[in-house]
């Protein structure tokens, strides 16, 4: 009998069947990329609405055009189901389920555990399983491996296991899945080689590392690096305001240095599924080893105070004009956590709106990507732009700089603007425009 690795190697070089468990921001673009590479793709998700939407060829992720999805679904190259048994015949299975935080900021790996249990139930000889969800170092070895080996299989011999972090930046057209080098850490050299062969179908460059823990740590380092640098620049913004200096001008000038500097930008706070959570996966893990991380904790402290800082800016600006926050009419522009996406997970806008409402402000919001949002159990609807009446509000608060806004028109129509993103940076300074 041919060794399992050899058969899989041939399958991965031809027209393999690839299973994707979890069809969200990470899983759906990946499923589409594999289907475009000629693989037959089977996506599994527990969310019935997502499965139904994919079956109709209707995309719910900005980076996946509906036309592309519909074409692949109609051609039978990508199908979605909620039945894990559909992955029985897959050559490779990639896990892209969420990894949120629990109530005390501890890792909640329950989605990984349930996906792994489900896959363990159908795993067979010759399959490759890759975990892509961001998680603490050791997850692949400690959570996945024992579940799969309990099936009587041996990693590296008759099934293959690897970790490969997803590094996409949703909404980023310049660096797509194909352009971003793929880090791959296998349980054994054969696992790594086969996972590399899988991803070579959809990415230009594979970066092999010595094992899954290293690959898991690479992702946490990247996101901790971003979180710490954003905290640093947020603190710079606070210091610059105290000194009457524009932090945006400082960053722009510093960024002309061709080496040793990389620009990060301040804002109303961190958001999204990754940056506010991922560093805590590492904190939790190293605490178990008796080490108390300091940068992560400190950066988190600064970043988490930014929504409150923005609320204070609003209160101060109104106060200077003889107004209280109570009964002030405030129009928030943008509730997604970053520009040109619809993702509101952990968006600082939610906390800012909630605090302003708790202080008695009358808050309306507009977001071209987010028709409805729930703030502290109250559902709010985006005002229609034609009804937004920028000039009728006491203050316009820019929280997300979506590319569709006409900033010049907004600034000229508004009575008072607080801009936390330097969206109005290209316009001449005006006394009624206050930038972070």
Q: Under the criterion CB under 6 A, does residue 170 sit at the interface with ligand NAD?
A: yes
CB nearer to ligand NAD: pick between 273 and 402: 273
Residues 33-52 that bind ligand NAD (CB under 6 A): 44-47, 50
As a whole number of angstroms, the distance between CA 43 and CA 47 comes to: 12
Build a one-symbol-per-residue string for 245-284: x at contacts with ligand NAD by CB under 6 A, - elsewhere: ----------------------------xx----------
Helix, strand, coil % over all residues of the chain, rounded to 5: 40, 15, 45
Q: Tell me which residue has its CB nearest to ligand NAD.
A: 24
Rounded to a whole number of angstroms, the minimum distance from the CB of residue 275 to ligand NAD is 9
Residue ranges of alpha helices (H) inside 244-347 are 247-254, 278-288, 295-304, 306-320
DSSP 102-114: -TTS-B--HHHHH
Distances (CA, A) of 304 to 75, 271, 287, 329: 46, 10, 21, 25
Binding of ligand NAD at residue 202 (CB under 6 A)?
Answer: no
**Which range touches ligand NAD (CB under 6 A), out of 19-27, 202-210, 299-307, 403-411?**
19-27
Catalytic residue among 96, 191, 240, 274: 274
CA 147 to chain centre: 28
How many binding residues for ligand NAD (CB under 6 A)? Answer: 26
| 21 near ligand NAD (CB under 6 A) | yes
Binding test (CB under 6 A) with ligand NAD, winner from 58, 114, 312, 376: 114
Place of tokens 């590296």: 156
Q: How far apart are CA 30 and CA 22, in angstroms?
A: 10
Which residues are within 8 A (CB) of 428 and not within 5 positions of it... i.e. 6 or more apart?
Answer: none
Q: What is the DSSP code (8-state) at residue 389?
A: -
CA pair distance 277, 389, nearest whole angstrom = 36
Tell me the C-alpha distance between 188 and 210, whole Å: 9
Phi, psi of 192 (to 5 degrees): -65, -45
C-beta of 43 vs 364, nearer to ligand NAD: 43
Residue 110 engages ligand NAD in binding (rule: CB under 6 A) = no
Q: Specify the stretch interacting with ligand NAD by CB under 6 A; choose among 16-24, 241-249, 361-369, 419-427.
A: 16-24
Report the residue from 16, 19, 27, 307 that binds ligand NAD according to the rule CB under 6 A. Answer: 27
SS3 154: coil
24 binds ligand NAD (CB under 6 A): yes
Phi, psi for residue 274 in degrees, rounded to 5? -105, -70
Q: Identify which of residues 141 and 246 has a Cβ nearer to ligand NAD in the complex.
A: 141
Of 58 and 412, which CB lies nearer to ligand NAD in the complex structure?
Answer: 58
Q: Which residue in the set 25, 159, 199, 369 belongs to the binding site for ligand NAD (CB under 6 A)?
A: 25
Strands 372-375 and 329-333: unpaired
CB 86 within 8 A of CB 20: no
351 neighbors 307 (Cβ within 8 angstroms): yes
Only one of the segments 11-19, 97-105, 194-202, 409-417 lies at the binding site for ligand NAD (rule: CB under 6 A); that segment is 97-105
CB 342 → ligand NAD: shortest distance, Å? 11
Stretch that binds ligand NAD, among 109-117, 184-192, 304-312, 322-330 (CB under 6 A): 109-117
Of positions 97, 230, 356, 361, contacts ligand NAD by CB under 6 A: 97
Sequence-ordered list of residues with C-beta below 8 angstroms from that of 178, at least 6 positions apart, any chain: 33, 202, 203, 204
- Give the C-alpha separation, 285 to 292, whole Å: 10
Smallest distance, ligand NAD to C-beta of residue 160, A: 20
Q: Is 216 in the site for ligand NAD (CB under 6 A)?
A: no
Q: Phi then psi for 94, rounded to 5 degrees?
A: -110, 130
Residues paired with residue 42 on neighbouring β-strands, in sequence order = 19, 79
Assess whether 274 carries a catalytic annotation: yes
Give the span between the Cα atoms of 70 and 48, in whole angstroms.
18
Q: How far is the CB of 363 from ligand NAD (least distance, A)?
A: 27
Tell me the closest approach of the beta carbon of residue 170 to ligand NAD, in angstroms. 5
Q: In terms of DSSP bridges, do strands 160-163 and 182-186 run parallel, antiparallel, or are they unpaired?
A: antiparallel
Task: Closer to ligand NAD by CB, 114 or 412: give it.
Answer: 114
CB nearer to ligand NAD: pick between 211 and 276: 276
How near is the Cβ of 306 to ligand NAD at its closest, in Å?
20
Compare residues 115 and 416 and give the one whose CB is closer to ligand NAD: 115
Q: Which residues form the interface with ligand NAD (CB under 6 A)?
A: 21-27, 44-47, 50, 96-99, 111, 114-115, 133-134, 166, 168, 170, 273-274
Catalytic residues: 274
């Amino acid at each position: 009998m041919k060794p399992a690795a050899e058969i899989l190697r041939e399958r991965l070089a031809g027209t393999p069947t690839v299973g994707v468990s979890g069809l969200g921001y990470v899983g759906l673009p990946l499923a589409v990329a594999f289907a475009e590479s000629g693989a037959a793709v089977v996506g599994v998700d527990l969310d019935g609405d997502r499965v139904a939407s994919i079956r109709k060829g209707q995309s719910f992720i900005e980076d996946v055009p509906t036309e592309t999805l519909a074409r692949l679904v109609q051609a039978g190259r990508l199908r979605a189901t909620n039945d894990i048994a559909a992955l029985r015949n897959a050559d490779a299975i990639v896990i892209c389920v969420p990894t949120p935080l629990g109530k005390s900021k501890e890792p909640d790996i329950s989605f990984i555990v349930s996906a792994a249990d489900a896959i363990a139930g159908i795993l067979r000889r010759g399959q490759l399983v890759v975990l892509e969800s961001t998680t603490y170092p050791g997850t692949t070895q400690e959570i996945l491996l024992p579940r799969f080996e309990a099936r009587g299989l041996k990693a590296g011999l008759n099934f293959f296991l690897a970790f490969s972090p997803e590094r996409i930046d949703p909404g980023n057209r310049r660096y797509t899945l194909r352009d971003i080098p793929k880090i791959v850490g296998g349980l054994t050299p054969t696992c790594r080689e086969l996972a590399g062969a899988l991803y070579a179908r959809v990415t230009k460059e594979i970066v092999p590392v010595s094992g899954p823990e290293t690959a898991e740590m690479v992702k946490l380092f990247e996101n901790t690096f971003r979180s710490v640098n954003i905290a640093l620049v947020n603190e710079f913004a606070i210091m610059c305001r105290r000194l009457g200096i524009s932090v945006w001008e400082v960053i722009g000038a510093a960024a002309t240095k061709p080496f040793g500097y990389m620009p990060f930008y301040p804002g109303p706070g961190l958001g999204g599924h990754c940056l506010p959570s991922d560093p805590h996966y590492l904190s939790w893990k190293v605490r178990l080893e008796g080490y108390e991380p300091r940068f992560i904790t400190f950066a988190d402290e600064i970043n988490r105070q930014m929504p409150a800082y923005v609320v204070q800016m609003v209160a101060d600006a109104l106060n200077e004009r003889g107004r209280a926050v109570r009964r002030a009419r405030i129009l928030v522009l943008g509730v997604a956590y970053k520009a040109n996406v619809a993702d509101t997970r952990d968006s600082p806008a939610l906390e800012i709106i909630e605090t302003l409402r708790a202080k008695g402000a009358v808050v309306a919001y507009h977001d071209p990507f987010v028709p409805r949002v729930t703030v502290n159990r109250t559902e709010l609807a985006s005002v229609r732009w034609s009804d937004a009446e920028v000039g009728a509000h006491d203050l316009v608060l820019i929280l997300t700089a979506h590319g569709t806004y006409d900033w010049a028109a907004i600034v000229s129509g508004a009575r008072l603007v607080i801009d936390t993103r330097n969206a109005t940076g290209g316009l001449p300074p005006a006394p009624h425009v206050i930038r972070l």
